[in-house]
Copies of this chain bind each other. A is one copy, B any other.
Amino acid sequence: MEKQHNLSKNQKIIFDLIDKSPEPLKAYSILFNVQKKGINAPLQVYRALDKLVEIGKIHKIESRNAFIACQNSSCQISKATAFSICESCEKVSEINNLKLSKYLSNFEDDSGMRYNKYNLEFFGLCKKCKSK
């Protein structure tokens, strides 16, 4: 059972913005958009983002320095994330593929490392951009 996190005021404002957005949002674009709600400083945004990432409500797209709402209810606390990124239109989607996540969560090699988390980003052309 997932622990229920009650978002604080700033966390809720920022999560709602990201959740409604059709595309990943960057921190300073978020800042600009929430200034009318009384969030004035970068740090207020980054603190909320950190917390939201920590509890798995959003993910950071590392190659883009941008944030997207989790679209995968079974994504346990951001420990196993995979995304598809269109290099033409920059559309990003979270991949929800049980076989893939099982394969990667169980991945082991001879390095002696225990992996407890991964992040995977696929790049290519989305359906739309392919047909142009």
* CB neighbours of A86 from chain B (8 A): 113
- A84-B111, A93-B111 as given contacts; A119 in contact with B116, CB under 8 Å: no
Tallying the copies of this chain within the complex gives 2
Residue of B nearest to A123 (CB): B117
Interface size on A, residues (CB 8 A): 30
A63 sits at the interface (CB 8 A): yes
Which of A11-19, A37-45, A95-103 interfaces with chain B? A95-103
14 residue pairs bridging A and B, Cβ less than 8 Å apart:
A63-B119, A84-B115, A95-B111, A104-B120, A107-B122, A112-B126, A112-B127, A113-B130, A114-B125, A118-B122, A118-B123, A119-B120, A120-B120, A120-B121
